[in-house]
Structure 1
Amino acid sequence: MAEDKNARTGLWLGGLPWWQAVICILLCLIPMYLTVQGKDGPKMVQSTTMAGTLAICFGLAVIFNEIGERVPIWNTYIGGGLLATFFGVAVLKQFNLVPEAGLDAINSFISDDANFLEMFIIMLIIGSVLSLDRDILLRSFAGYIPAILGGLLAATILGGITGAIFGIPFSDTLIKYTLPIMGGGNGAGAVPLSQIYEQVTGDAAANYYSFAIIVLTIANIFCIIASAALNALGEKVPSLTGDKKTLIRGAEELARDDEKIKTDNTDLSGALLLAFACFSVGILMSSVILPKIAGAPIHKYAYMIIFVVILAATGLVPARVRAGAKRLQSFFSGQLGIIIMVGMGADFNLGELFKAVAPSNIIMALMIVIGAIIGSAAVGYLVGFYPIDSAITAGLCMANRGGNGDLACLGAADRMDLIAYSQLSSRLGGGIVLIIASFVFSFML
């Protein structure tokens, strides 16, 4: 048998032979630690443009991703390279091992000015929805809201029981713990919840938010760890999960095999144009046409998902374009996922977590997260879903810190193909919680 001259031999890091990778990493990171005198004072040598910031992100990502993928136990049960990148960068930030200018550049590119995170989510949504068979798509979305409500109900019950053990009244448990945790994250949950609290009570929104963000931060960590644990459980008990791309039990053989469809760059261009058009529909619906339903603001991603589902259900999108969308999704989730984790780590404050180590807060958050897992898994199973995949998307992606938390959970669970469902949890599920909170705050405070 002829020897493959192109085969990879020896140690490779980040797609390069290790010694080349080390040189590239150093070249990417060293300029970040050097400064020159500018007209407004010292400034970082590394450019803060897209190229310069990506250099920083890739330099950090490759290091922690390789560590996470190679460390035993962590690579199987904790979340692998994606989660190692997230926590690794967060630790560097906490101990001031990354210059402030570098962190600012990362945050500006990933989630602030340039908002590459938005681009990432758009590509994952368009690919994950269009790659599903039409029947699977309609069946799964029809059963998804009940799975969300099942997780919310079980989280409320388990949280109430735990609160009673600590002597916390049920009303306080619901208002201070369950609703903030299950509210769909920070911007879509804790912030608007605090505003509703202020409107109802007259007390400052900051007084509610300061505690809500603490318990939400604790719950977010539990959600990420639980996602990795559920993925490991699925590896041990395959009957509890599917192919990590669909929720419906036994539907793997119906999923489109995109690899059999030949695509070229024109199909990728078509998929890009379609993705941006669907995103624009989301913006128009959430900003102009129907920004609120029953008093609750509806996020642009939720409207985008609904519109993409409608397109997929009608069968109007050509097979080549669907396959192109799937290729885009695979590239973004596979090759650029670690870049997103760098941004999330740079935006995560470990200090918030350290402030909230009171045993009661930790146990309360843990039990609410467990309730979300149990409720969404049980109801998901009843409507025909795999319990593990339902628990991760309809349960944990309700209980984490929203968009960033969704990506961390899906990355830890190796289920980036389920991004559309997680976004429904954070957006539509979060909207449901806000509607419930409006009534709860009015009657219980």
Structure 2
Amino acid sequence: MGDTAKINYGNQRKITIFNIPCMLYVVMLVVILACIYLEVVPFTLPASLAVLLVVSAVLGEVGDRIPIWNEYIGGGAILAFVVGGLIYTYEWMPRQTIELVIHFFDEFGYIDLFVSVLITGSVLSIKRKLLLRALTGFFPAIIGGIVMASVFGVLLGLVFGKSPVEILTLYMLPIMGGGTGAGAIPMSEIYASATGQTAEKFLSFALPILTIANILCIFTASVLNKIGNSKPSWTGNGELLKGNVDFDADQKEEKLELKLEDVAAGLALACTFYMLGTLFSKFLLPTIFGIQIHTYAYMIVFVAFSNVFNVIPANMRQGAKRLQGFFGTNMLWLQMLAVGLALTDFNEIIAALTIPNVIIAGGIVVGAFVGSAIVGYLVGFYPIEAGIAAGLCMANRGGSGDIAVLGASKRMSLISYAQISSRLGGAIILVIASVMFGIFLG
């Protein structure tokens, strides 16, 4: 997102916001703000998009450029979320506009479109052979991280008087869920479906916990780099498999000329997978052993199988991937502002930033590393690389968190494995969430 604002030097200096010339953007913002504060915003989809896109653009650009905030807190996406929460809590905008955004977020169904596109594109973008290999080697390391994160989190939770159910559902699942867009947000919908409470209530606690865990993951990664320098037998210096095996040697990206029709086909595919998940969750097999299975959980299963069995043409896969990239970057600021504006009370976020929460989140992060490192070592991986790629990259904030963690550990060569953790691992967590919410909270 940060590269959308550029300074170009030529005959004149040109500054853009969200790739819009600065003066034109100011005019657009003035028009939007005039409609908002004169209370003439129509209750329509274009109006909600206009408010969210234009307002979130400046918040995103600024947030991505604030030192420290952009490196460790979450950049523009989190600033948009925070400002949205403040707007809701203190009504910095007329109630009419806030209600429009809430309606857009829930009733217009934008959240379902956003999540469907992210799930489809992210799972299909994992190379088929890499996905198959993940099930045999890397997949157990991910599971090890999930198990130990749960154990460490529950043990620390008991120290602070919190029940295992609370730790697992409100701490472990959001932290290990693969980030915000494809993790916490769809998980909040699963939570709402299982409990009858609002998705915003879950997000108001999950998002600050995610932020805490992301910071701790980055710090832990830098420490592990120093440990690797002193314990060379524990690390492959960016190589995951022992024996200097190139795990991705035969995984060359298929070169295709992407057309607009392919992107449209990717959108149709994402929406069809959503409808297929709906068909199973609402009619064909709504429960398994008495547990309500969410639409997103079915979606993940069907998209993964379609990738493994190679039933989706390459052009449609790349179209879905491009669409997912668009929604996951260009539309993320919009999404986060909408999430913030739909919060019930921003004070709940502040209340979540306590010493016990920081310690519990830290225990989950450490547990994720330890579990993945141990299992990775047993299946022939270097423990530091396994712990970083399968553990920390599960506990961070998705794609942007992966870059930060791998940069801090100086192991950017692990990016393919990090993406499996964020995408496949996050998808597994959503399935687990669907089951656990149904059992413990339903």
TM-score tier, shorter chain, comes to 0.7 to 0.9
Tell me which amino acid in the other structure corresponds to 1:102.
Answer: T
Native 8 Å contact 1:106 1:346 kept in 2: yes
Structure 2: gaps of 5 or more residues: 1-7, 175-186, 229-234, 240-244, 404-414
C-alpha separation in 2, matches of 1:302 and 1:34: 43
Aligned to 2:427: 424
Tell me which amino acid in the other structure corresponds to 2:69.
Answer: W
SS at match of 1:182: helix
Pair 1:372–1:235, CA change in 2 (3 A): closer
Aligned to 1:20: 24
Native 8 Å contact 1:182 1:430 kept in 2: no
C-alpha separation in 2, matches of 1:327 and 1:218: 29
TM-score (normalised: structure 2):
0.73
Cα deviation, residue 395, structure 1:
3.9
Aligned to 1:56: 51
Aligned to 1:122: 116
Pick aligned residue for 2:38 from 30, 34, 38: 34
Cα deviation, residue 283, structure 1:
1.0
C-alpha separation in 2, matches of 1:231 and 1:105: 42
Pair 1:188–1:321, CA change in 2 (3 A): closer
Deviations 1:127-148 (A, max 9, x none): 2222332111223255676456
User: Is the counterpart of residue 174 in structure 1 residue 169 in structure 2?
Assistant: no
C-alpha separation in 2, matches of 1:329 and 1:6: 34
SS at match of 1:12: strand
Within a 5 Å distance, the mapping from 1:241-390 to structure 2 comes to: 251=247, 254-255=250-251, 257=253, 260-348=255-343, 349-356=345-352, 359-368=355-364, 370-372=366-368, 374-376=370-372, 379=375, 387-390=387-390
Cα deviation, residue 425, structure 1:
3.8
Pair 1:409–1:87, CA change in 2 (3 A): farther
TM-score (normalised: structure 1):
0.72
Aligned to 2:90: 95
Deviations 1:345-381 (A, max 9, x none): 2123321133456644553454345434543565467
Tell me which amino acid in the other structure corresponds to 1:338.
Answer: W
C-alpha separation in 2, matches of 1:99 and 1:381: 57
Aligned to 1:155: 149
Aligned to 2:14: 10
Pick aligned residue for 1:134 from 128, 150, 166: 128
Pair 1:386–1:125, CA change in 2 (3 A): farther
Native 8 Å contact 2:216 2:362 kept in 1: no
Structure 1: gaps of 5 or more residues: 36-44, 196-204, 243-248, 397-407
C-alpha separation in 1, matches of 2:143 and 2:54: 42
Native 8 Å contact 1:177 1:365 kept in 2: no
Pair 1:108–1:148, CA change in 2 (3 A): farther
SS at match of 1:424: helix
Native 8 Å contact 2:368 2:392 kept in 1: no
Native 8 Å contact 1:375 1:395 kept in 2: no
SS at match of 2:163: helix
Pick aligned residue for 1:188 from 184, 187, 190: 190
Cα deviation, residue 394, structure 1:
4.1
Pair 1:251–1:301, CA change in 2 (3 A): farther
Pair 1:144–1:299, CA change in 2 (3 A): farther
User: Is the counterpart of residue 391 in structure 1 residue 391 in structure 2?
Assistant: yes
Q: Work out the percentage of aligned pairs sharing the same amino acid.
A: 27
Pair 1:7–1:320, CA change in 2 (3 A): farther
Aligned to 2:406: none
Cα deviation, residue 262, structure 1:
0.9
Deviations 1:208-238 (A, max 9, x none): x9x9998656534424544666798999999
Deviations 1:66-118 (A, max 9, x none): 111221222223222222222222233333212222222112212x0112121
C-alpha separation in 1, matches of 2:217 and 2:273: 29
Cα deviation, residue 32, structure 1:
0.9
- Of 261-270 and 411-420, deviating more is 411-420
Deviations 1:131-178 (A, max 9, x none): 332111223255676456434432343234434545x4xxx5313434
C-alpha separation in 1, matches of 2:429 and 2:210: 13
Aligned to 1:41: none
C-alpha separation in 2, matches of 1:7 and 1:288: 63
SS at match of 1:177: helix
Cα deviation, residue 300, structure 1:
1.4
Native 8 Å contact 1:68 1:74 kept in 2: yes
C-alpha separation in 2, matches of 1:417 and 1:152: 16
SS at match of 1:10: strand
Tell me which amino acid in the other structure corresponds to 1:114.
Answer: F
Q: CA RMSD in A?
A: 4.2
Pair 1:277–1:353, CA change in 2 (3 A): closer
SS at match of 1:321: helix
